[in-house]
């Protein structure tokens, strides 16, 4: 079963010309990572005053694109009341 | 006028503190890049990962024109995720001031309600327009690189049309934020109403005429067909009329102390 999936997934990827793709996709990935890093750094700086640091870390890391945004909009506001 | 500048500055300091100046443009750059890249690589991604033995991919998909892809950036990135993010980032625009008593405090000062509202809307519109413009330009660069060239004048015209719609989004969210007290309800009402507006575009010419969301459609039309719809100017004027009406409602609501600040 696993072999089947590998065949469909990764074997086919070898036909993919990665070197041609990287210069185009790199800015895309960089922007995404920058957003995540910005949120994480901010969370780390104010870790003392934030309510649920662990929850936000998980959300920022694993909820694609929307995680950091949710943190900036909702996650930062909670701290002001403290 | 002087007070307006002071309130404007206060808003920008607040945004700087919220890091909104940094993350909102980045989000829109991200959205702007997504559409051209995904459109460009969709056939090869499907071919590589879809277990695509026996699937033929329509070659016309890769042969899209630049204008169509740029229009799709507006239509399917900015008009969906982008504008939800915009609304969510602005849902507290007046509601936070009501909640922490800032609004009541400001109104005890010799500040006119109009300059307060203007400061709010102008500052938020500037940051929203800046983000949308940056994201759009990045998308434009990518489209020109990966697809056919889009002429600069079409690009600017479409952007101007789109910014009118953004202005409507900002002022509508401000109005809802003035009237309601819970952030969740504000976000829900604004998003549902504005998405509703966006969906019913194109149903009937009469609705289109009074619907601000058709500005977004006009922007896409300019990019796809290269000609400006003659109704676009009328629509822009109607939108401006709506915005003035919204300003009156906000002004009335705040001036008559209908805001109950707990």
Per-residue pLDDT tens for B75-89? 888 988 888 889 988
Interface contact B23-A72, CB threshold 8 A: yes
Q: Which of B18, B30, B146 sits opposite A32 (nearest CB)?
A: B30
pLDDT in tens, B162-176: 999 999 999 999 999
In percent, the amount of chain B with pLDDT more than 90 equals: 28
In the prediction, which pLDDT does B111 show? 81
Contact flag B85-A69 (C-beta cutoff 8 Å):
yes
Greatest Cα pair distance in chain B: 74
- Give per-residue pLDDT as tens, B117-131: 889 999 999 999 999
> What is the residue whose two structure tokens read 């709506």?
B242
Higher pLDDT, A5 or B181: B181
The counts of H helices and E strands in chain A are: 6, 0
Average pLDDT over residues B206-213: 86
Residues of chain A below pLDDT 70: 1-19, 77-82
Inter-chain touch B48–A12, beta carbons under 8 Å? yes
The pLDDT value recorded for residue B127 is 93
Chain mean pLDDT for chain A:
74
Binary contact (B88, A31; C-beta < 8 A): no
| Contact criterion met (CB below 8 Å) for B91 and B190 | yes
Q: Is A26 exposed, middle or buried (0-12, 13-18, 19+ CB in 10 A)?
A: exposed
Q: Quick one: tokens of B169?
A: 């989004």
Residue B161: band (very low, low, confident or very high) from pLDDT cuts 50, 70, 90: very high
Give me B146's structure tokens.
């990966």
Average pLDDT of the residues of chain B: 86
- Note whether ipTM > 0.90 here: no
pLDDT at B126: 94
Asked if residues B25 and B130 have their Cβ atoms less than 8 Å apart, the reply is yes
Rounded CA gap, B212 and B69, in Å?
Answer: 23
Q: Does A68 touch chain B (CB under 8 A)?
A: yes
Q: Do B26 and A38 touch (CB under 8 A)?
A: yes
pTM score: 0.85
Instruction: Name residue, tokens 């559409």.
Output: B35
pLDDT of B151 above 80: yes
Task: Say which of B29, B44, B146 has its CB closest to residue A16.
Answer: B44
pLDDT (mean) for B177-190: 89
The pLDDT value recorded for residue B177 is 92
Q: What is the pLDDT of residues B27-64, one digit of tens each?
A: 999 999 988 888 888 777 776 666 656 666 666 665 67
Neighboring chain B residues of A31 at a CB cutoff of 8 Å: 26, 29-30, 33
């Amino acid at each position: 079963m696993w072999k089947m999936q590998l065949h469909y997934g990764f074997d086919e990827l070898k036909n993919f010309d990665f070197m041609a793709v990287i210069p185009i996709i790199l800015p895309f990935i960089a922007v995404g990572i920058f957003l995540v890093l910005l949120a994480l750094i901010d969370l780390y700086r104010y870790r003392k005053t934030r309510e649920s640091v662990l929850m936000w870390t998980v959300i920022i890391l694993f909820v694609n694109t929307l995680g950091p945004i949710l943190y900036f909009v909702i996650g930062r506001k909670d701290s002001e009341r403290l | 006028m002087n007070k307006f500048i002071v309130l404007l500055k206060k808003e920008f300091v607040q945004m700087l503190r919220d890091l909104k100046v940094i993350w909102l443009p980045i989000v829109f750059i991200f959205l702007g890049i997504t559409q051209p890249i995904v459109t460009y690589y969709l056939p090869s991604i499907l071919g590589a990962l879809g277990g695509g033995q026996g699937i033929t991919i329509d070659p016309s998909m890769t042969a899209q024109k630049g204008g169509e892809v740029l229009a799709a950036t507006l239509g399917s990135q900015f008009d969906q995720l982008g504008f939800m993010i915009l609304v969510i980032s602005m849902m507290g625009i007046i509601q936070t001031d009501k909640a922490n008593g800032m609004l009541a405090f400001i109104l005890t000062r010799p500040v006119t309600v109009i300059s307060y509202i203007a400061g709010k809307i102008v500052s938020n519109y500037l940051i929203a327009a800046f983000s949308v413009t940056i994201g759009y330009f990045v998308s434009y660069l990518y489209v020109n690189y990966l697809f056919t060239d889009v002429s600069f004048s079409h690009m600017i015209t479409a952007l101007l049309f789109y910014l009118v719609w953004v202005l409507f989004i900002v002022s509508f969210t401000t109005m809802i934020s003035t009237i309601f007290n819970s952030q969740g309800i504000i976000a829900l009402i604004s998003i549902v109403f504005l998405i509703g507006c966006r969906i019913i575009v194109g149903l009937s010419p009469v609705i289109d005429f009074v619907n601000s969301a058709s500005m977004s459609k006009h922007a896409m039309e300019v990019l796809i067909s290269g000609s400006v719809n003659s109704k676009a100017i009328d629509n822009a004027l109607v939108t401006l009329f709506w915005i003035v009406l919204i300003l009156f409602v906000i002004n009335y609501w705040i001036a008559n102390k209908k805001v109950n600040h707990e």
